[in-house]
Chain A
């Protein structure tokens, strides 16, 4: 679904660097999410936002921060990247009252 886009698609960075992953959507959804996917662990929720002024921690928020710049944009930052943050990161959106989430294509992050 091209309505949810993520940039960059791939990123290699070094330990200690600050990086930002961006998510944009044209679905007009209020709710946005960031997940990380690790082999054998499935998807785990990092942060979520139910509207522009709402930010909530998920299951594994330590080491991450987010910014909801607009209804359509939700950015994930790693303040000081570490190797165990190497993972595939997904953004998702949903509408209130509809539980289905729509996912972006993912960003593959490698922290050296």
Chain B
């Protein structure tokens, strides 16, 4: 069975501080990992996927197969980063398993 764990329900940081949203997964094969973001009153949208190795809005995430982690990082938080972030996993076949989400609050 596949599982995604996001241990923090809420993460509060000050503007300009580094951000790390944690994500750990359980999957026996080779997963594909994603971060989705939901800004206030907006629909869920893809932020980044590990296979693309991109930096989106200053965020990066590296898949660590040894630690089964896919933590989301940004060196300097901005106020507009405040949102709900979901880590998700698929083992293929388009079925996504989501974590429970982390609410990021960036304070001034």
Set A40, A44, A90, A101: member contacting B94, Cβ < 8 A: A101
Set A40, A45, A48: member contacting B100, Cβ < 8 A: A40
Q: Which of A20-28, A62-70, A77-85, A102-110 contacts B (4 or more CB under 8 A)?
A: A102-110
Set A4, A42, A101: member contacting B101, Cβ < 8 A: A42
Q: A48-B95, A50-B94 are in contact. Are A41 and B45 (CB under 8 A)?
A: no
Question: Contact: A99 with B98, CB < 8 Å?
Answer: no
- Nearest-neighbour CB distance to chain B for A33, whole angstroms, equals 8
Set B49, B94, B101: member contacting A31, Cβ < 8 A: B94
Interface residues on B, range: 20 to 34
Question: Contact: A42 with B99, CB < 8 Å?
Answer: yes
How many Å lie between the Cα of A50 and that of B92 in the bound state?
13
Interface residues on A, range: 20 to 34
Residues of chain A within 8 A (CB-CB) of B46 are 100-102
A:87-103 near B, CB below 8 Å: 90, 92, 94, 96, 99-103
Listed in ascending order, the chain A residues whose CB lies under 8 Å from chain B are 1, 4, 31, 35, 40-45, 48, 50, 58, 90, 92, 94, 96, 99-106
Between-chain CB contacts (< 8 Å), 20 pairs: A4-B43, A31-B94, A35-B98, A42-B98, A42-B99, A43-B44, A45-B96, A45-B97, A48-B95, A96-B94, A99-B32, A99-B34, A99-B49, A99-B92, A99-B94, A99-B96, A100-B49, A101-B46, A101-B96, A102-B46
Listed in ascending order, the chain B residues whose CB lies under 8 Å from chain A are 6, 9, 32, 34, 42-46, 49, 86, 90, 92, 94-101
